[in-house]
Structure 1
Amino acid sequence: MTTSSPPASGASSQDSAGLTRFNTLPREAAATVLTEVCAARDWAAALAEGRPYSTPEALYAASDAALAELDAKGLDEAMAGHPPIGRPKPGDPTSSREQRGMADADEGLKAEMLEMNLAYQERFGHVFLICATGLDGKQLRDALAARLENPPERERENARTELVKINRIRLGRLLAEPAADAPA
């Protein structure tokens, strides 16, 4: 599986402080924080058990490895934690921020995405998963249209690859949280 780079090159002092906070959380608290990054419990447990991490890059690598090890049930659990593109969960700032590219889409594009999302879920049995950060509505629509043509096995691996990217971004944000706002 191809992985992406960590969200930022080099660790800032804030990331280092965030990593220290994460490494020192009680195991259950760490697992809870991690399930907010990725809904797969086995992934969260593996990362919580693997602490302490010496660098953010070590955490990202452990995340990638744990995601690669997820069985079909774990991958389904991870995907189930993501709302369809264009329909972020109400009150969920994470999915709203990640899907910001759809916020300015016109009503026609939003309707097209809804129809295509439903077709995708019908064909593959799971949500269309893409690292939407930085993509606009047209790019998201084009990616969805292209991936609708894939065989199911390929789409599951595409979803796993996209989860790697999403998890790295979310872990980076977790490490960058100010101490007062960090989940405990």
Structure 2
Amino acid sequence: MHLEQFNSASRTGAAAALRPCLDIPRWIDELVDARPYSGLAALLEAGRGAADPFTPTEIEAALAHHPRIGERAPGTSVEARLSQSEQAGLGEADAAVAQALADGNRAYEEKFGQVFLIRAAGRSRQEILAALNTRLAHTPGEEQTIIGQQLREIAVLRLEGLMGQ
């Protein structure tokens, strides 16, 4: 979808196009209601702004849609394909890194009660593993802040990709 198409789409169509980027109704509504956008930069800035901050309930809902790092998102939805593409960019993991990520995911979920979320695009598996290990030392409050930041980065990257289609 190009920006012109997004600007002229019906409210329902524009909202449906945004949902795979970030399925948080408030974020979607803010972006749809602020149309038309003068350019991609204005849309991306609006996306960042609408995503700051997320409420704990919004974060919890968004995390329900994200697979564990190192695991393939199930299904063929647009969101699943985006996740699969982002994680495919990580390349093949050697057995030790794959096991360390699986162990780290488990430890993170035990400590925080939610999936470990990080923007995978542009990062190696080793970088993600290092971030996971660092974040395991955080408090729940520190993690909520970081998760919100990671969700914003994922949403804006997906939004930018969506407008290039």
TM-score, with normalisation over the residues of structure 1? 0.81
Rounded to whole Å, the distance in 2 between the matches of 1:158 and 1:150 is: 10
Rounded to whole Å, the distance in 2 between the matches of 1:62 and 1:77 is: 21
The answer to whether the aligner puts 1:167 opposite 2:151 as a matched pair is no
Deviation at 1:107, TM superposition (A): 2.1
Question: What's 1:8 paired with?
Answer: none
Rounded to whole Å, the distance in 1 between the matches of 2:24 and 2:5 is: 22
Deviation at 1:132, TM superposition (A): 0.9
Which letter does structure 1 place at the counterpart of 2:81? P
The residue correspondences of 1:65-76 to structure 2 (distance < 5 A) are 65-76=49-60
Question: What's 2:5 paired with?
Answer: 21
Question: What's 2:16 paired with?
Answer: 32
Which letter does structure 1 place at the counterpart of 2:116? F
Deviation at 1:44, TM superposition (A): 1.2
Kept after mapping to 1: 8 A contact 2:54/2:148: no
Q: Which consecutive unaligned segments of at least 5 residues does structure 2 have?
A: none
Question: What's 1:4 paired with?
Answer: none
Q: What CA RMSD, in Å, does the superposition of the two structures yield over aligned residues? A: 1.6
Q: Which consecutive unaligned segments of at least 5 residues does structure 1 have?
A: 1-16, 178-184
Q: Deviations over 1:53-96 (max 9, x none)?
A: 11111111211121114321112112222211001213432112
User: What is the aligned counterpart of 1:96 among 55, 60, 84?
Assistant: 84
Q: Which moved more, 1:90-99 or 1:120-129?
A: 90-99
Deviation at 1:100, TM superposition (A): 2.3
- Percent of residue pairs identical: 33
Deviation at 1:162, TM superposition (A): 1.2
Deviation at 1:126, TM superposition (A): 1.9
Question: What's 1:60 paired with?
Answer: 44
Q: Deviations over 1:105-129 (max 9, x none)?
A: 0122112211111211221122211
Q: Which moved more, 1:28-37 or 1:97-106?
A: 97-106
Rounded to whole Å, the distance in 2 between the matches of 1:40 and 1:121 is: 22
Kept after mapping to 2: 8 A contact 1:89/1:95: yes
Rounded to whole Å, the distance in 2 between the matches of 1:132 and 1:70 is: 20
Question: What's 1:78 paired with?
Answer: 62
Kept after mapping to 2: 8 A contact 1:86/1:110: yes
Instruction: Give every structure 1 segment of 4 or more consecutive aligned residues whose post-TM-superposition deviation is greater than 3 Å.
Output: none
Which letter does structure 2 place at the counterpart of 1:99? Q
Distance of aligned partners of 1:172 and 1:106 in 2 relative to their CA distance in 1, 3 Å threshold: same
Rounded to whole Å, the distance in 2 between the matches of 1:93 and 1:36 is: 9
Rounded to whole Å, the distance in 2 between the matches of 1:70 and 1:135 is: 24
- Count how many residue pairs are aligned between Structure 1 and Structure 2: 161
Rounded to whole Å, the distance in 2 between the matches of 1:132 and 1:44 is: 22
Which letter does structure 2 place at the counterpart of 1:139? E
Rounded to whole Å, the distance in 2 between the matches of 1:123 and 1:88 is: 23
Deviation at 1:102, TM superposition (A): 4.2
Deviation at 1:151, TM superposition (A): 0.7
